[in-house]
């Protein structure tokens, strides 16, 4: 029998419905797995068993009465430590935030979790102020990949992805302003979706502006669709939040037959590890086998890394502008460097980068008039040594060429597991759709999941 922590959210809900399992015993099993394995992985920065078990007991009573509270009643979920959580500190991996202050608010997505009866398991680690594509911080140290603890899980939602991969709860909330749910999903072999910007309300507003998305990180595509249905919706605190979706995401058909699918192995400018390239090409072939009309074609834009870095580094400078010189001296050294660089940009520099961003969005809008989806690698390399920003020096943007362009365009983009390298490290296929086509992206990923299921494969550490 599958161990309780390895069950998906949809499987848990089915077991609650029949009385086969109780939210209390499931929560206890997840907490036990965290106790056993997280000292090596360091996915969590806050775990409060009494908090979790109180929510689980309340859920069990609702199920006993036949009155579940919502779509996620009793399902364990973790929350990235950049999302406000009422009554619990949100320290964002930084020593500069006072944990003893009042914490009166839930972020919109966290509030929706409570409304739908989810069981909060804890807060997951992030690099300081979520600034880079790996997960280590001055406050919480290095987070490690369950597939190989000597390697990084990626970031900045690396704690969330490591937790889901290791069976420390089937659902997690992450954020993505340059790849931060998709990078770690690819490195740890889970599913993640960066929805269309505004699809999940975000408060307080990110200092990285409209690059930043909240997104689900899950063990299965079906679970991500379920989580989307729970957390999407309008919140007046987010001036850019979209209206609720017209139809639920759960219950999608999982059909790509007849879709016009573009496959770009390099986006026209990226270098890709041969093993990763082969795994992604095989995944693309599966789409053709499922009836999609696949064509190898690049979208036709140059690498926008310089413009992205203007937007990103300026946002980082905004994050720390209120800090004293003494506090700045204690920041992650790489963060301190990009903040200094970001503070030197002019308003004209920022507006020039914004204009390039708008042109990129126009180009991709035109591209999707001809193609329903775009497939690329999620990451060009497998996970590398933990505790480093980059495998060979330089900024994290140097090894993430497939992710940040689609934060600039605000399109939905998902990472789907597509196999393991010879060293046993996961690879990810990125599925990108036009703005507002979140359901189409999920549907295509569901079709691939059913054709090439990965759910029975856990990292050796916990398997």
Q: What is the pLDDT of residues 108-117, one digit of tens each?
A: 999 999 999 9
**pLDDT, tens digit (0-9, with 9 covering 90-100), for 380-429:** 999 999 999 999 999 999 999 999 999 999 999 999 999 999 999 999 99
240 part of the active site: no
pLDDT at position 456, please?
Answer: 86
Q: Say how far residue 319 (Cα) sits from the centre of its chain.
A: 21
Does residue 205 carry a pLDDT above 70?
Answer: yes
Does residue 1 carry a pLDDT above 70?
Answer: no
Contact 334, 389 (CB under 8 A): yes
Which entry of 8, 109, 156, 390 is annotated as an active-site residue?
Answer: 156
Q: How far is CA 127 from CA 71, 153, 187, 390, 443, in A?
A: 31, 12, 16, 14, 32
Does residue 434 carry a pLDDT above 70?
Answer: yes
Q: Are strands 213-218 and 191-194 parallel, antiparallel or unpaired?
A: antiparallel
Does residue 186 carry a pLDDT above 60?
Answer: yes
CA nearest neighbour of 217 among 182, 166, 244: 182
pLDDT at position 150, please?
Answer: 98
Other beta carbons within 10 Å of 285: 12
**pLDDT, tens digit (0-9, with 9 covering 90-100), for 283-303:** 999 999 999 999 999 999 999
Which entry of 8, 52, 80, 137 is annotated as an active-site residue?
Answer: 80
Q: How far is CA 13 from CA 17, 23, 50, 74, 226, in A?
A: 6, 9, 22, 8, 11
Domain locations in the chain as residue ranges: 4-303+347-451
Does the domain made of 4-303+347-451 have the CATH classification 3.90.1300.10? yes
157 part of the active site: no
> Buried b vs exposed e over 88-97: b needs ≥16 C-beta within 10 Å?
bbbbbbbebe
Distance CA 175, CA 77 (A): 15
Distance CA 357, CA 334 (A): 25
80 part of the active site: yes
**Phi and psi torsions of 49, nearest 5°:** -55, -35
What average pLDDT does the segment 183-195 reach? Answer: 98
Which entry of 8, 157, 180, 415 is annotated as an active-site residue?
Answer: 180
């Amino acid at each position: 029998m599958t161990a309780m922590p390895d069950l998906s959210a949809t499987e848990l809900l089915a077991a609650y419905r029949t009385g086969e399992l109780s939210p209390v015993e499931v929560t206890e099993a997840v907490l036990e797995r965290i106790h056993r394995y997280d000292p090596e992985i360091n996915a969590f920065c806050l775990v409060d068993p009494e908090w979790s078990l109180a929510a689980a007991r309340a859920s069990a009573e609702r199920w006993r009465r036949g009155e579940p509270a919502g779509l996620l009643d009793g399902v364990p979920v973790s929350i990235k430590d950049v999302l406000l959580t009422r009554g619990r500190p949100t320290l964002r991996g930084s020593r500069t935030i006072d944990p003893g202050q009042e914490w009166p608010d839930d972020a919109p997505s966290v509030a929706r979790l409570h409304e739908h009866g989810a069981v909060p398991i804890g807060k997951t680690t992030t690099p300081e102020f979520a600034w880079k594509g790996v997960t280590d911080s001055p406050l919480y140290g290095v987070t490690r990949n369950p597939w190989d603890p000597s390697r990084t899980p990626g970031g900045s939602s690396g704690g969330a992805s490591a937790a889901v991969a290791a069976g420390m709860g089937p659902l997690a909330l992450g954020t993505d302003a340059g790849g931060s749910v998709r990078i770690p999903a690819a490195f740890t072999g889970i599913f993640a979706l960066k929805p269309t910007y505004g699809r999940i309300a975000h408060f307080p507003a990110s200092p990285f502006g409209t690059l930043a998305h909240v997104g689900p990180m899950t063990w299965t595509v079906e679970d991500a669709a379920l989580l989307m249905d729970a957390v999407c919706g309008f919140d007046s605190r987010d001036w850019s939040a979209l209206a609720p979706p017209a139809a639920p995401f759960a219950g999608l058909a999982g059909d790509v037959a007849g879709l016009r699918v573009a496959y770009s192995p390099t986006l026209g400018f990226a270098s890709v590890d041969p093993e990763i390239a082969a795994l992604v090409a095989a995944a693309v072939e599966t789409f053709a086998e499922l009836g999609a009309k696949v064509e190898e074609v690049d979208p036709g834009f140059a690498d926008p890394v310089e413009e992205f870095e203007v937007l990103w580094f300026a946002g980082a400078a905004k994050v720390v502008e209120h800090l004293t010189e003494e506090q700045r001296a204690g920041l992650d050294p790489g963060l301190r460097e990009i903040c200094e660089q970001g503070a030197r940009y002019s308003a004209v520099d920022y507006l020039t980068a914004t204009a390039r961003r708008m042109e990129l969005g126009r180009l991709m809008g035109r591209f999707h008039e001809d193609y329903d989806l775009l497939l690329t690698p999620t990451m060009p390399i497998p996970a590398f040594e933990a505790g480093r920003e980059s495998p060979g020096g330089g900024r994290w943007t140097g090894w993430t060429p497939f992710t940040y362009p689609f934060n600039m365009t605000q399109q939905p983009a998902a990472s789907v597991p597509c196999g393991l390298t010879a060293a046993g490290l996961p690879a990810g296929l990125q599925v990108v759709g036009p703005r507002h086509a979140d359901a189409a992206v999920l549907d295509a990923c569901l079709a691939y999941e059913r054709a090439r299921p990965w759910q029975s494969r856990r990292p050796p550490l916990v398997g």
